[in-house]
Amino acid sequence: MPLNRPARTIAALAALGLLAACGEDGGAAAGDPAAYPSEEIRLLVPYGAGGPTDLTARAYGASLEEQLGQPVVVENLPGGSGALAMQELIASEPDGYTLSLVTAGTTVLTPLANDLDYSLDDFTPIGVMAEVPSVLAVGTDSPYQTAEDFFTAAEQNPGGITVGVPGASTPQGIELQRLRDLYGVEVTVVPFDGNAEMTTALLGGNVDAVLINASSDVTENIDAGQFRPLAVSSEERLSWLPDTPTLAESGFPELTLSGSTFGLAGPAGLPEEVVTTLEDALRTAHDDPAVVEQVGEEYIDEEFRGAEELQEVLDRTQEVYEPILGG
């Protein structure tokens, strides 16, 4: 028998009440932080496929997917020294379903150097994934056998030597600017979208050298004899490149900041519950043997560094470089 109008109204109100109760008790709504995650998560990478950022994101993404029970889809968005991916990230809803691998270069240096419409305040840090030093390297056919050979040639021929970097406003690019400003040694900086492009350019003879993240793909080229390392950016020599001097040893004690910290972040305003969930998952991934093997034990800190520690890294970078780039 068809319901009369009062009965239909009562039934409709009852149905709405049931739906509301499901949303409150079952936590099924995608926008509910308590239900996070309930759908697919995008993990942006601000550089091209095949490089260290891509490898790191995919290794951690697989672990996060297993822990969180939802697909984690890695999406490469290279361009603009990381600006393309960062703008995509900050334009997304702060609900934890769009995240990105971030570096000090993409979140601090790129907006400072290019006067973009975002800043460090537009991000919510979650935690550190990897720490990768940089290496100044040349091809095996290069006339520069040592760092001394390289820098002597650069002094004698200002701007005559080309050096590839993973973006003009990355720590590598800015450190070469400081090489000129602090020490009077000028090279021509050639920006690329990550390690893969830089490697192709160096092996193809399109640049004389690269100041590149010393990640596993680069160390493999060093071990294979295709790259010759001249100097590293770390304050002390690397245990896995013991014969390669530091830039400080080569006469440039200030140039220790071109390494890269790879972190995970979301847009500003990410709910605290979501940050906690992701930070906990990232901590577990940090200790996951499969992640350590894929990323490389030498690039993962012994102790996990979470949201607070990543914020400190980014704040320190801003403090050092804002007077240089901020005008």
Instruction: Write the CA distances from 282 to 11, 19, 133, 202, integer angstroms.
Output: 46, 34, 21, 34
Under 8 Å between Cβ of 229 and 136: yes
More reliable by pLDDT, 96 or 171: 96
Mean per-residue pLDDT over the chain, rounded:
88
Mean pLDDT to the nearest integer, 228-240: 92
- pLDDT of residue 30 exceeding 90, the answer is no
CA distance 298 to 305: 15
Model confidence at 29, pLDDT cuts 50, 70, 90, reads low
For residue range 44-58, what is the model confidence (pLDDT) as tens digits? 999 888 878 899 999
* 3-state DSSP assignment of residue 303: coil
- pLDDT of residue 19 exceeding 80, the answer is no
Domain locations along the chain: 36-131+260-325, 134-232
CA distance 180 to 186: 5
Instruction: Write the CA distances from 105 to 93, 102, 194, integer angstroms.
Output: 23, 8, 12
Same fold across 36-131+260-325 and 134-232:
yes
Helix (H) or strand (E) holding 55, with range, is helix 52-68
**Residue with structure tokens 């012994």?**
302
Among the ranges given (134-148, 192-206, 273-287), the one the predictor scored with the smallest mean pLDDT: 192-206
CA distance 145 to 150: 8
From the list 217, 157, 216, 212, the residue with the least C-alpha distance to 188 is 157
Using CA atoms in the order 41, 46, 47, 50, what is the torsion angle rounded to 10 degrees? Answer: -20
Helix (H) or strand (E) holding 267, with range, is strand 260-267
Which pLDDT score is estimated for 190? 96
Provide the CA 164 distance to its chain's centre, in angstroms.
18
- Residue range 134-232 forms a domain whose CATH class is alpha beta
Which pLDDT score is estimated for 5? 40
Under 8 Å between Cβ of 310 and 261: yes
CATH code of the region 36-131+260-325: 3.40.190.150
Helix (H) or strand (E) holding 178, with range, is helix 171-183
CA distance 156 to 136: 19
Model confidence at 246, pLDDT cuts 50, 70, 90, reads very high
- pLDDT of residue 7 exceeding 50, the answer is no
From the list 226, 266, 234, the residue with the least C-alpha distance to 85 is 266
For residue range 157-177, what is the model confidence (pLDDT) as tens digits? 999 999 999 887 788 988 999
For residue range 123-135, what is the model confidence (pLDDT) as tens digits? 999 999 999 899 9
